Amino acid sequence: MINQFAEDYSDQPVVFIDYRYSMADPPEYPTPEFRWEIIRATEEGLGLTWAVVDSGRMYNRGAETIEEAEEAFTEMLESALARPAEAEMHALWERVGDSVNVIVTVKNNSTITLSLANNAAVHAIVKEPNTVRPNHTTINPGLDSGRAIIESLAPGETGTFSITVPNLDPINWDNVQVVVLVDYQVEPGSHYDQLQARFASEVKNRLYLPSVLRP
Amino acid sequence: MKFTKNMLALIIVSLLVSLAGATLPVQAQENTTQERLVVFESVGSDT
């Protein structure tokens, strides 16, 4: 059903990312740690399918029926689409072996200081769209993610962050996409919220400037 | 001689116009709010 939502919203600025969760004890594989930590902050316990927008500002867990899920997901998406971006982001990524290196600039246009106190971070999520992978329930699998913690970024300030996501195993590297986002915890013990997200642009042919032109 | 001067002036004016044309869209971009990208994340069960 989430695949159908992805198709229905394909002409809108929405990206769908699906993580796998092992029900085995002990787990047979990990769920991307940093994103799972944020999704779990929405509610205690476990209930799948667990879906969030805006890093958990709105979520739905364990819908009993397709109708219930459709109603909840539509409300979540429409609510998120109606909000303005509260940060400006630019990002580049480069493949190095089986890793992805990402560099992100974030301008904080919100009224909130992003800091260690509110667990603010820049995340880079690697996905391989239109792919069927074992244990993923949609064709938009998120392979893994990394993050850079924000020590302090006051309203109006711009920061640059680098993130490495290692040990990736996409079926086809040519299909890989990298999504970056910036989020923070609304208050201790509560959910997170997201200021902005962007697709990072891939750097394939790095340009080496002569030393006299380097900043 | 006059023709050469006119040509030179025309080239300079063309250059200035093209430079201005190249600069204005950048300034316009800086004043535009970046579109928000919504991220829908889901965790499904493997069973």
Asked casually if ipTM beats, i.e. exceeds, 0.90, the reply is yes
| Prediction pTM value | 0.84
**pLDDT tens by residue, A2-13:** 999 999 999 999
Q: What pLDDT, on the 0 to 100 scale, is given for residue A213?
A: 62
Residue ranges covered by each domain of chain A: 2-81, 87-202
Task: Kindly report the nearest CA distance between residue B30 and chain A, in angstroms.
Answer: 11
Torsion A178-A80-A57-A109 (CA) sign? positive
Which tokens hold the place of A35?
């994103």
- Per DSSP, the three-state class of B41 is strand
Is 2.60.40.10 the CATH number for A87-202? yes
Amino acid present at A171: I
Half-sphere exposure of A89 (CA within 13 A, CB side): 31
B3 pLDDT above the threshold of 70: no
Task: Kindly report the nearest CA distance between residue A168 and chain B, in angstroms.
Answer: 19
Sheet holding A142-149, edge to edge: A142-149, A121-127, A177-185, A192-199
Q: What pLDDT, on the 0 to 100 scale, is given for residue A63?
A: 87
Sites in chain A below the pLDDT cut of 50: none
Of B36, B37, B44, the CB nearest to A49: B44
Question: Cα separation of A159 and A190, whole Å?
Answer: 25
Of B34, B38, B43, the CB nearest to A14: B38
Q: What pLDDT, on the 0 to 100 scale, is given for residue B23?
A: 44
Q: What pLDDT, on the 0 to 100 scale, is given for residue A112?
A: 98
Q: Which residue has the higher pLDDT, B32 or A196?
A: A196
Q: Which residues of B touch A (CB under 8 A)?
A: 33-47
Sheet holding A14-21, edge to edge: A14-21, B38-45, A50-53, A58-61
**Span B1-16, average pLDDT:** 51
Q: What pLDDT, on the 0 to 100 scale, is given for residue B28?
A: 45
Which tokens hold the place of A37?
């930590």
Alpha helix (H) residue ranges in chain A: 2-8, 33-40, 66-81
Give the Å distances, CA to CA, from B3 to A7, B9, B10, B11, B14.
Answer: 62, 10, 10, 12, 16
**pLDDT tens by residue, B10-28:** 444 454 444 444 444 444 4
